Amino acid sequence: MKDYRSQFDALRFSPEEKQAMVDDLLAAAPETHRRVSHKKRVHILIAAVIAAALCAACASGALQAAIQSLSFFLGNQPEQTQVLGEMAQPIGASVTDNGVTLTVDAVLGDKNGYAILYTLSRDDGGPLLQNVDPDANLYNIHFDDGLLTIDPDSDNFYISPVCDPLFTAFRPTDNAIHFFEEWIGPNMEQMNGPARVSLQNFRAGIVSMEIEKEEVAVEGNWTVDFQMTYQDSSIELPIGQTFHGGTNGALTGQIKELRLSPLSLYVTYSYQIDEEKIAEAYDPAMTVEPKEEWIKNEIDCQNVETAIFLNLKDGTREDTGFNGDRDSENKIETRSSAFSEIIPLDTIESITIGDLTIPVPQS
């Protein structure tokens, strides 16, 4: 398991920089989708669909198609697709430009963040990429620009880039491509409310027998307004326990918040570091650093060296990786790890943090 896109800790911009990005994207979008926006400030980080829309989506098979596509990214084992079916909220909002339609298919998430599935398809049923050798190899698939804004018409909104999502396998003859973005991090919180995604120009590099390298594009500016709706999939776990981690158990922590979902793990703990225990581990034969410098560096990395694992019922152990936010002044560490695939909660036996193991309640 990898720390899924750990680099996605929130981008930060000034209100002026953010407004410039929004203006650029909206200026490129079709006139019918432009809106005048007056923003005072922005928080940068990372409910169900109304009954009629939900029933319509299920009846049309849109939810089933979305789950099938989501399984490409999040796991296609029966227990994984079952959880996806329980979590995914169908959206179905779309917009068409230049004969190509962008659809927001489904949303799922937890208190730590969200995941969204999209589809880009050509309306006439032909290949999304036109006049391309069917046997060509594709690479570097991306959008020129992309932006997701949640609660875009308020004074307090969230924004994230969408220009480099994850794409399903795609051939030159395919009519549509599905792509997926996930933002989960220590500073995230559950997102519900109006949302707007804007994308510009879909591109792919090609290599074929006739052409060594070339780039083709599906030109368009797509802006879709939709309702960001999903049910939190998290469970809260017991808190207050003490654990030890780092070098020689030099870090002593106390769990302040702990929650788990099929998508991610979130933990906050307070900590203290025993410098004497770190000093005892100093070995001049193993480093060229002076002792004082070595100790200082070791103090800085005690949280990183405190591993967090999921212990699964099949006997395997999954490293949750490291994506953290540290308040060094108040000695508070927040860790949030997104899983590379759905992990059904009933397959997790316990969570290990340092020398502490916490059982996961079974329903």
User: What are the tens digits of pLDDT across the range 178-211?
Assistant: 999 988 876 677 788 899 999 999 999 998 877 7
Length of the chain: 363
Does the pTM surpass 0.85? The reply is no
CA dist., res. 299 & res. 187, Å (int): 24
- With cut-offs at 50, 70 and 90, classify the pLDDT of residue 256: very high
pLDDT at 162: 87
Residue 229 has a pLDDT of 86
Note the pLDDT tens digit of each residue in 120-175. Answer: 999 999 999 999 999 999 999 999 999 999 888 887 778 888 878 999 999 999 99
| Residues whose CB is less than 8 angstroms from the CB of residue 251 and which lie 6 or more positions away in sequence, other chains included | 244, 245, 271, 272, 273, 274, 302, 303, 305, 306, 354
First-last CA distance in the chain: 25
Report pLDDT for 324: 77
Whether the predicted pLDDT of 59 surpasses 60: no
Which residue reads 């070098």 in tokens?
247
pLDDT for the residue 308: 94
Average pLDDT, the chain: 82
| SS3 state of residue 241 | coil
